[in-house]
Amino acid sequence: MTDVDPPGRPGPGEHAEEGTADGVKRGKVLVVGLDGVRFDRLTRSPFKAPVLHGMIAAGSHGTSLLPYGEVDGPSTSMAYTDSGPGWSSVLTGVWPDRHGVTGNDFIGADYSRYPDFLSRAVTARPGLRTAAVVSWPELIDRGTLGPAIHRRVLHDGEAEGYGAADRLVADTAAQWLTDGDPDAVFVYFGAADEAGHATGPLSPAYDHALRSQDAHLGRLLGVIAARRSQPGRADEHWTVLVTTDHGHLDTGGHGGDTRAEREVFVILAEPGVPGGTLLDTPRLVDLAPTVLDRLGVPIDPAWGLQGRILPRPR
């Protein structure tokens, strides 16, 4: 485990101010990233991912295609179907033409101008407690998840294997959500992408990875549900967002412009969402403004975010 939590900062298990300046309690957000998950494989059978199927049935969801150059006409917002560009778009709320990441080498990244949504949130509202735990080293090593975040933990999937590392990611996030009081948490699981590369998304290994990640998600949702029975937490308003960065070819791999590689999804669960609601083509860049909105952070036009806030329940 690598813990790059800056010293002297309030982490997810430490006390900080409880409300906004006007006394209104903030919402809380959990974002779960599932690398390389194809939506058609996810929805093929409820037995493959019962937790995600339950979220879809009880909340809202939608899919969209990553913009890809000539496929969509002239565009400066080509969203390359690799993990570096994909997670950069999720976390920053802008496409590669702004955040600068066009591959997994991260050359050209401009996270100083376009930081991740956790960093934006805590910069705008210093009382917020933010945390991220991931199994892909690049998200921390390359600065995609910035040093302003109170707690950043890496369980190295490249060194430990993504199945084992993802279990540790779930353990860490569950502990934070049980013992601490984080306002915004980002969690990343990488085993499905690893299986997709090794044996393709039609394989038993890919299905196994999906089931494992689905179980990790179910554990985190269970912890959040349990918080409501604890003193002082009954009125917490949790928004949970689940997404992926790209798909996979049937034979495994990605980076091209096919629908199988470009289709991404967003699943959203929060109190008051009518079950089975369809989101209108949610895009990766919509997650950052949505997270900020649910945390009560006003969107500054000067930030240049390219996403839109996903609708609140009515």
The tens digit of pLDDT for each residue in 250-286 reads 999 999 999 999 999 999 999 888 888 999 999 999 9
pLDDT computed for residue 17 by the predictor: 36
pLDDT computed for residue 203 by the predictor: 94
CATH of the domain at 293: 3.40.720.10
Distance CA 4, CA 148 (A): 11
In total, how many domains does the chain have?
Answer: 1
Residue-wise pLDDT tens digits, 157-184: 999 999 999 999 999 999 999 999 999 9
- 10: in domain: no
pLDDT computed for residue 11 by the predictor: 52
- 219: in domain: yes
pLDDT computed for residue 88 by the predictor: 97
- Please check whether residue 93 is in contact with residue 288, taking contact to mean a CB–CB distance below 8 angstroms: yes
- 132: in domain: yes
- 279: in domain: no
Average pLDDT, stretch 191-209?
A: 95
pLDDT computed for residue 59 by the predictor: 93
pLDDT computed for residue 231 by the predictor: 84
pLDDT computed for residue 69 by the predictor: 63
pLDDT band (50, 70, 90) for residue 43: confident
Q: In the structure encoding, which two tokens stand for residue 24, read together?
A: 């209104």
- 16: in domain: no
Element (H, E) at 30: strand 28-34
Global confidence as pTM: 0.92
Alpha helices in the chain (DSSP H): 39-42, 50-58, 83-92, 96-99, 117-124, 138-141, 157-160, 162-179, 191-199, 204-227, 259-262, 287-294
Whether the per-residue pLDDT at 5 is higher than 70: the answer is: no
Q: Give residue 167's domain range.
A: 25-261+288-303
- Please check whether residue 83 is in contact with residue 136, taking contact to mean a CB–CB distance below 8 angstroms: yes
Question: 157 CB contacts (<8 Å, ≥6 apart)?
Answer: 135, 136, 137, 165, 166, 190, 191, 194
Average pLDDT, stretch 128-146?
A: 98
pLDDT computed for residue 9 by the predictor: 47
